[in-house]
Amino acid sequence: DIVMTQTPLSSPVTLGQPASISCRSSQSLVHSDGNTYLSWLQQRPGQPPRLLIYKISNRFSGVPDRFSGSGAGTDFTLKISRVEAEDVGVYYCMQATQFPWTFGQGTKVEIK
Amino acid sequence: QVQLQESGPGLVKPSETLSLTCTVSGGSISSYYWSWIRQPAGKGLEWIGRIYTSGSTNYNPSLKSRVTMSVDTSKNQFSLKLSSVTAADTAVYYCARESSPRGLGYWGQGTLVTVSS
């Protein structure tokens, strides 16, 4: 299985300040079709996960543009340009390049 | 707007079979991949597997011997069966639909299944 490792596991952030989460995979996530199936999900307290970003950098419908994704190969980053109160929650990276699909451990974003 | 809703028993006895159904509304179940994901309390996410509306499946090898997924297009539903459950299978179970190639864009609210005698 591909192991997804996120850092940090906890990220206290000041409102209005940026936040960044890293995700590293144990092997390249480039699929044989040329795509890289790395996505980011947000899980607010008591809610199901919500897709933010798919294929490294594509924002899903309705996702604010303060969320952005980048990276390639085995190293990926989710950035929040200016953290808002509603961004509190746990963020997961997920790889869907190889079965079984796997998730990172999660990064808890909280307000200082 | 497509909506997904999980349903099934909230309590299952050890060694028995967990059975859940996901009902899709606001859109057709056809021509999409549908996944099951679970999350033990306070822990991370585990992908269980997915099914296409043709019946083609991909299962997590860690659960493959115990998992069966099926789809009923006439009812706009798909289902999960997990046999020989133990306490380790206690979790919130989510159903989800791919919205883009291999991106899980639509999720149900989740249903808690507890395995206990």
Q: Is A53 helix (H, G, I), strand (E, B) or coil?
A: strand
Q: What's residue B53's pLDDT?
A: 94
Which residues does chain A have within 8 Å of residue B2's beta carbon, measured at their own beta carbons? none
Residues of chain A found within 8 Å of residue B107, distances taken between Cβ atoms: 48-50
Q: Is B19 on the interface with A (CB under 8 A)?
A: no
Shortest CA distance to B48 belongs to which of B66, B60, B58? B60
Express each pLDDT in A86-109 by its tens digit.
999 999 999 999 999 999 999 999
Residue A9 above 90 pLDDT?
A: yes
The yes-or-no verdict on residue A25 having pLDDT over 90 is yes
Q: State residue B42's pLDDT score.
A: 95
The shares of helix, strand and coil residues in chain B, as percent rounded to the nearest 5, are 5, 55, 40
Q: Where are the beta strands (DSSP E) in A1-112?
A: 4-7, 10-13, 19-25, 38-43, 50-54, 58-59, 67-72, 75-80, 89-95, 102-103, 107-111
Contact B103 A96 (CB under 8 A): yes
Mean per-residue pLDDT for A10-33? 97
B73: left (phi over 0), alpha (psi -120 to 50) or beta: alpha
pLDDT of residue A53: 98
Residues in chain A: 112
Query: How many percent of chain A have pLDDT more than 90?
Result: 100
Average pLDDT over residues A1-6: 98
Residue of B35, B44, B110 lying closest to A48 (CB–CB)? B110
User: What's the confidence (pLDDT) of residue B101?
Assistant: 83
Site of tokens 């480039």? A30
CA atoms within 13 A on the CB side of B42: 0
Q: So what's the pLDDT on residue B100?
A: 81
Q: Which residues in chain B come in under a pLDDT of 50? A: none
Judge if the upstream peptide bond of residue A8 is cis by omega within 30 degrees of 0: yes
For chains A and B, what is the number of CB pairs under 8 angstroms? 72
Q: Residue B81: its pLDDT value, please?
A: 98
Percent of chain A with pLDDT over 70: 100
